[in-house]
Amino acid sequence: MMIVDLIDGDDFRDRLVALGIRIPEGACPETCARMARLKHMEVGVPGLQELVRELMARTDVMLPSVRAAIERFLLPDLR
């Protein structure tokens, strides 16, 4: 039996924090995406576009709330 690691809100937050974005512990995916977008608009976030591209290539293992947050807040500004 294969066990798949889902990309959940905590994983999404951890990946954004690893890029240097300060996000409160326990923030929902929407808050994470909004804060990442704001930081990107203010000063830029190296690696954010690549992270979004990587995550969107794995939507089959991504929770719908994370996907919706990325599509709503990050994709429009990173295309």
pLDDT tens, 21-69? 999 999 999 999 999 999 999 999 999 999 999 999 999 999 999 999 9
Report the chain's mean pLDDT, rounded to a whole number: 94
Range 64-70 contact pairs with CB under 8 angstroms and sequence separation of 24 or more: 65/9, 65/28, 65/29, 65/30, 66/7, 66/8, 66/9, 66/11, 66/12, 66/29, 68/29, 68/30, 69/12, 69/28, 69/29, 69/30, 69/32, 69/33, 69/34, 70/12, 70/29, 70/33
Domain with 62 in it: 9-78
Q: Is residue 1 part of a domain?
A: no
Confidence (pTM): 0.92
**pLDDT given for residue 27 in this prediction:** 98
Q: Is residue 4 part of a domain?
A: no
Q: Is residue 38 part of a domain?
A: yes
Q: Is residue 3 part of a domain?
A: no
Q: Is residue 24 part of a domain?
A: yes
Q: Is residue 58 part of a domain?
A: yes
When divided into structural domains, the chain yields a total of: 1
